[in-house]
Amino acid sequence: MEDAATAEIARVQLWQWVFHKARLDSGHPITAAYIEKLVKQSAQEVKVPGVSPKHLEIAARYLTEQIKADKCSDFLTSDLMPYLEAVDGGKWVKASL
């Protein structure tokens, strides 16, 4: 669960930086295009034992879509559950509160 929480914090922080037009210490703007470039580069370089390149591609695409969104989605775990369900073969139903 800690990994999901860390990913959630990172996702929302990136979205906030893009949304609020933050800048690096160097003055370079943190834009969706800049983050997308970094995500693509990193996704190609990352090698995690037991994690398929397809799943890294899904994560990179998800993060890229999130930082371009007008509004941050509620939870990445809910957004990505259909992918986990497909891998697990189970039936996932989104709960309503």
Q: How many structural domains are present in the chain?
A: 1
DSSP assignment of 54-77 equals: HHHHHHHHHHHHHHH-SS--S-HH
Question: What tens digit of pLDDT does each residue of 1-52 get?
Answer: 568 888 899 999 999 999 999 999 999 999 999 999 999 998 888 888 888 8
Mean pLDDT, range 45-61, rounded to an integer: 86
Give the model's confidence band at 97: pLDDT under 50 very low, under 70 low, under 90 confident, else very high.
Answer: low
Residue 76: both structure tokens together: 């990445």
- Has residue 10 been placed in a domain? yes
Whole-number pLDDT of residue 84: 75
Phi (first) and psi of residue 29, to 5 degrees:
-70, 140
* Residue 96 falls inside a structural domain: no
Q: Is residue 32 part of a domain?
A: yes
CA 41 to chain centre: 14
Residue 52, domain extent: 2-88
Considering the domain boundaries, does residue 79 fall inside one?
yes
Q: Which structure tokens are listed for 74?
A: 């509620």
pLDDT of residue 12: 94
On whether residue 76 sits in a domain, the answer given is: yes
The model carries a pTM of 0.78
CATH, residue 81: 1.20.1220.12
